[in-house]
């Protein structure tokens, strides 16, 4: 007879596990995987343990079984959740990482860092941190037994925010859609995992990301609007000093950052004049006399 439908375990296999030395539901799960899925079969696993063993060793083990000790439904739920985390040694941080609020926090921080990487030049630091936290979230999801499907909405939402950043569009409807998807993903995950903490974190995280997006967009725009820092364009707006000048061709040489450059002007200048670079043609700078402050 099937007892654990999640893992496809029969009562015979569970009895074999008990015969082989399993004395608690956790040990049974470690041997035959019964009870390591949704946990719905754990009461039946405990009953099998109860039926099958009569030795003193059994009573000693079951005396501490949280399922049998649970007085009400909430205790039973938390006992089942505790046992579903599996036997010791399964993972050093199992039980922390698979907590729904921790999963939502990890995914939210990951989303924030990845969006920062898209918006600002962090030389990969934010991106690496984002992927590391994404990995932490995925480990938690893989170790937990909660329905993770709503979390796929988070991926869609972060992708939408990233597209808005790349396209430099403040589209209110786009931002609203991204925030809505994020809220649906996190709150839906928390609700299906029966975790009020995850729901609360999801609401807060959605608000924080929605509020951060305009700041990131402004930062991205400011960076992209900055004048070029490399190439001849980087000289535009810079001051130089005339070194020599041919007043007939209105061409000469100017010194800029310690280097000499060919220059051309529309108006006469003289050696020693301070001039302003206003453009260039190939390697020749276009200059005008530098404006003189009125004071």
The site for ligand FES (CB under 6 A) is made up of 4-7, 34-41
Smallest distance from ligand FES to CB 2, Å: 9
3-state secondary structure of 139: helix
Only one residue has tokens 């003289």, namely 270
State the nearest-atom distance from the C-beta of 35 to ligand FES, in Å: 5
Dihedral angle sign, alpha carbons of residues 273, 236, 218, 133? negative
Q: How far is the CB of 81 from ligand FES (least distance, A)?
A: 12
Strands (DSSP E) found in the chain: 2-4, 9-10, 239-246, 251-256, 259-265, 274-281, 284-289
For ligand FES, the closer CB: 117 or 146? 146
Torsion from C-alpha of 85, 88, 91, 93, nearest 10 degrees: 70
Sequence-distant (≥ 6) Cβ neighbours of residue 94 within 8 angstroms? 85, 86, 143
Using CA atoms, how far apart are residues 280 and 264, in angstroms rounded to an integer? Answer: 9
Rounded least distance, CB 199 to ligand FES, Å:
24
Sign of CA dihedral 257, 260, 264, 265: positive
Alpha-carbon distances of 11 from 2, 22, 137, 199, rounded to whole Å: 6, 14, 35, 37
If the CB atoms of residues 34 and 181 are measured against ligand FES, the closer one turns out to be: 34
Task: Please say which residue, 18 or 34, places its beta carbon nearer to ligand FES.
Answer: 34
Beta carbon of residue 43, minimum distance to ligand FES (angstroms, whole number)? 10
Pairwise CA distance, residues 102 & 195, whole Å: 11
CB of 30 to ligand FES, least distance (A): 13
Angle at 193 between CA 190 and CA 199, to 5 degrees: 15
Q: Which is nearer to ligand FES, 43 or 180 (CB)?
A: 43
Whether 254 and 242 have beta carbons less than 8 Å apart is answered as yes
With respect to ligand FES, which residue has the nearer C-beta, 83 or 136?
83
* Pick 39 or 140: Cβ nearer ligand FES: 39
Q: What is the smallest separation between the CB atom of 55 and ligand FES, expressed in angstroms?
A: 25
CB of 146 to ligand FES, least distance (A): 13
β-pair partners for 285 = 263, 280
Residues 61 and 24 sit within 8 Å (Cβ to Cβ): yes
CB of 6 or CB of 191, closer to ligand FES:
6
Q: With respect to ligand FES, which residue has the nearer C-beta, 11 or 284?
A: 11
């Amino acid at each position: 007879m099937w007892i654990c439908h999640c893992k496809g375990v029969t009562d015979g296999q569970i009895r074999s596990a008990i015969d082989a030395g399993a004395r608690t539901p956790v040990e049974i799960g470690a041997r035959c995987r019964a009870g390591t899925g949704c946990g719905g079969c754990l009461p039946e696993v405990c009953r099998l343990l109860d039926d099958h063993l009569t030795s003193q060793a059994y009573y000693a083990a079951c005396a501490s079984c949280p399922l049998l000790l649970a007085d009400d439904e909430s205790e039973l739920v938390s006992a089942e959740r505790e046992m579903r985390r599996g036997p010791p040694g399964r993972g050093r941080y199992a039980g922390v990482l698979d907590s729904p609020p921790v999963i939502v926090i990890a995914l939210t921080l990951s989303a924030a860092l990845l969006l920062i990487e898209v918006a600002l030049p962090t030389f990969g630091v934010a991106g690496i941190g984002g992927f590391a936290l994404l990995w932490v979230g995925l480990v938690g999801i893989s170790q937990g037994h909660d329905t993770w499907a709503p979390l796929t909405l988070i991926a869609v939402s972060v992708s939408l925010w990233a597209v808005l950043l790349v396209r430099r569009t403040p589209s209110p409807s786009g931002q609203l859609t991204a925030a809505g998807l994020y809220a649906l993903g996190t709150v839906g995950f928390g609700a299906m995992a029966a975790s009020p903490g995850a729901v609360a974190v999801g609401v807060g995280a959605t608000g924080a990301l929605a509020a951060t997006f305009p700041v990131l967009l402004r930062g991205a725009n400011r960076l992209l609007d900055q004048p070029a820092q490399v190439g001849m364009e980087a000289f535009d707006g810079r001051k130089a000093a005339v070194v020599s000048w041919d007043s007939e061709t209105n061409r000469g040489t100017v010194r800029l950052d310690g280097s000499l450059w060919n220059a051309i002007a529309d108006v006469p200048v003289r050696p020693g004049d301070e001039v302003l670079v206003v453009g260039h043609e190939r390697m020749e700078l276009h200059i005008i006399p530098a404006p003189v402050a009125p004071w």
